[in-house]
Amino acid sequence: MLATVEQTRLKVSKNTEAERKSQLGQFFTPARTAQFMASLFTSKNIDNCRLLDAGAGIGSLSSAFLERCIAAEINFRKIEIAAFELDDFIHNELNNSLSSYKNRLLTGYNLVSVTDLLMQF
């Protein structure tokens, strides 16, 4: 699944103007970097995991983390992800990335946009 996320990353990055990326501080983290970052997570002796993915983009880091869980490198009974992304234009891709894990192991996820946050105030 991470390979699919990587293909989406390449497409979205190519189709996003450099100025917009700069304004939003977007990096569109490559799969290899996301895998390295996910390798830094250690399994604790707890059942529940709550992951905050700030600046989630299309979900590369969350996907790399979930791939480690699927491979049983780290084990949790329940996984919840809070994914924050400023760019409403890529929420569909982020939602697709996270929902692809829903039937395999992800208990739940919440995608939060700036628009959602501003409406709370």
pLDDT in tens, 19-60: 887 888 788 999 999 999 999 998 778 889 999 999 999 999
Provide the b/e sequence for 65-83 (b: ≥16 CB within 10 Å): bbbbbeeeebebeebebbb
Q: Are 20 and 26 in contact (CB under 8 A)?
A: yes
CATH number at residue 10: 3.40.50
Total domains, the chain: 1
CA distance 102 to 121: 31
Q: What is the mean pLDDT of the chain?
A: 88
**How much is the pTM?**
0.86
pLDDT score of 65 more than 90: yes
CA distance 59 to 85: 9
Domain that holds residue 29: 2-119
